[in-house]
Every structure is written in C-alpha cells, then in structure tokens.
Amino acid sequence: MTGLPFDLQGRFWRGNLHTHSDRSDGALSPAETARVYREAGYDFLAITDHFRPEYGFPVTDTRELRSDGFTTLIGAELHAPRTEAGQEWHIVAAGLPLDFAPPADAETGPELARRARAAGAFVGMAHPSASLLTAVDAESLDAAHSVEVYNALADRENRGDSWHLTDVLLNRGHRLTAYAADDAHLQPQDPPPCQAWVQVRAEILDPDSLLAALQAGHFYSSTGPELYDVRIEADVVAVHCSPVSKILLTGGVPGAEVAQGTNLTECELPLTMFHGTHYRVTVEDPAGARAWTNPIRPSS
C-alpha cells in the first residue's frame, strides 16, 4: 500500500487538496483563496472548482499564483452520475491538464475518474460519508488513489470522518491511501479555513514532485498534531510526535492498541493483533485534533 515516508529524502510540505474559488461556488477569487493559505503557512494548494456545466467546466489555472515558497496543483472536483444514494459523484482530481475535457453525455463517475487518472491526476474519493457512499459505490471507483477520510466542511454536518468505509475497502483488498482536506469555499457561514491538510514528503517544492509523492503515498494527514517519525521495529510500531493525549494503533480488525497520558511525544505499541492485516497510527491532542498515517500493510 505505502511505505512510511518519514525517512525519505526531503521534507514535509503542507497543503490542501480540496478548495473552491469563485470560479465555481467559492467566495473568493483564486488569487485571494491562495493568499489565505499562503499567509497561514501552507506550502501548496490545489484549487478544485466544481467541474460542472453551470460554471463552464473550469480547470482553474493557478500557475501565476506560484512563487518562491508556495506552489499550486492544477485540479478540479469532478462530477458525473450516479451513486447508490441517487446523487452525483464528487471526485477530487489534483494534477489535471488545463485542457481536460468535460464529461461525455453517458460518462459515469468511475469512467470520468479513470480518464482523470490516465491524464496524470491524483484521484481522491471526496467526502464519502457526507455523500452517503456505499461499499458498492466505492468499489466501483477503481481509479481512486485515496479516500478523503476527513473533510472539515462535512464535519459541520457530523459527517466529516470516513475511516469506517476506508477500512472496509482496505479489508477487501483495495490499495488506497487516506487524506484530509478543508473542502474550503470561504463563505461566511462556512467553518474557518486551514482546518485539515496533508503533509507531503518530497525533496523540492515543485508540482511534479508533490504529485508523484501523493500518488506514491508519501504523506500523512492532520487537523493539528505533527508526526515526526513512525517506524516499525520488530513487533512494535514506534511513534514520535508533537505533544498529544492519545496515540492509537488501529486497522483491519476490531479493537486498538492505545497509549494515553499528558503531553505524550513518543511510545511503542505492539503489532501482534494486526499481523496479516492493515493498520495505521492516529494521534490525538486534548482538543480532539488528530493526525493519521496512511494505512500500512505488513508487507509494506
């Protein structure tokens, strides 16, 4: 599925993969949207406007917003019929060509996602919980690299977390990573931006390098805490992180290994119960903010 990125060359770059501007239903221009994230200390941003006919099927060109210390990925949120709940698909695609063609009349969501991946994009299954995706839906989206396991906008509806469906898919053998994102529209009624992000390990802050790292799974996700190092040592996983109150090991079987305390910054948790299945590390601070590794398989 993915190797751990912590000992790879380079450093972690902070970015948001799911963002909207006034090219679709966001409140601010692409330049103003990028400024919000740049001034918040982000290293990169993907503006993923809704790829719908009422907006002219935008693939928002953000190349002129790149500068020293900040870059962008070209993307869109793709839509096509139809999920089991009767809704259209929501598919994040970061790394699209600017001339990506609108959906054909009979093109389905899975077909559109396959075309985006073939065009070089990192493909994410957007907010599955908020979209009421079923396992049947999710398994049909076979071009997805990753599942949006936390969506800050959907959390307003208490549907921000999609780890349950992700674990079901992983247990069925699907090779998926997991990312967190704002889904920011920057409308007055929305949650504030910069609530969820990815930390991508790459040698340089360059769109191609970031995209390759995302596709390889060389990242972790967070809503607050930092993961400094996670490594497998014999039959334990060793974790080093910013101060948290809980460190968990969960995965493809019910139950968890848990360390709890005050200002925890490191621990070792046994892997015994996860032999033969996937697992991940989650850390949580006293305010409830979390960070997650990508799913790890014993053979990774």
Q: Specify the DSSP class assigned to residue 110.
A: H
**Structure confidence by residue, pLDDT tens digits, 24-35:** 999 999 999 999
pLDDT for position 1: 44
Q: How far apart are CA 175 and CA 38, in angstroms?
A: 32
Matching CATH topology for 11-222 and 227-292?
A: no
CA quadruple 159, 46, 169, 164: dihedral, nearest 10: -20
Query: Would the CA dihedral through 184, 190, 191, 193 be positive or negative?
Result: positive
DSSP strand pairing (71-78 vs 50-51)? parallel
Q: Is this prediction's pTM over 0.75?
A: yes
pLDDT at 98 over 80: yes
- Overall fold of domain 11-222: TIM Barrel (3.20.20)
| Percent of the chain clearing pLDDT 70 (strictly above) | 99
pLDDT for position 164: 97
Do the beta carbons of residue 1 and residue 295 sit within 8 Å?
yes
Where are the chain's structural domains?
11-222, 227-292
- Overall fold of domain 227-292: Immunoglobulin-like (2.60.40)
Whether residue 11 is preceded by a cis peptide bond, meaning omega within 30 degrees of 0, is no
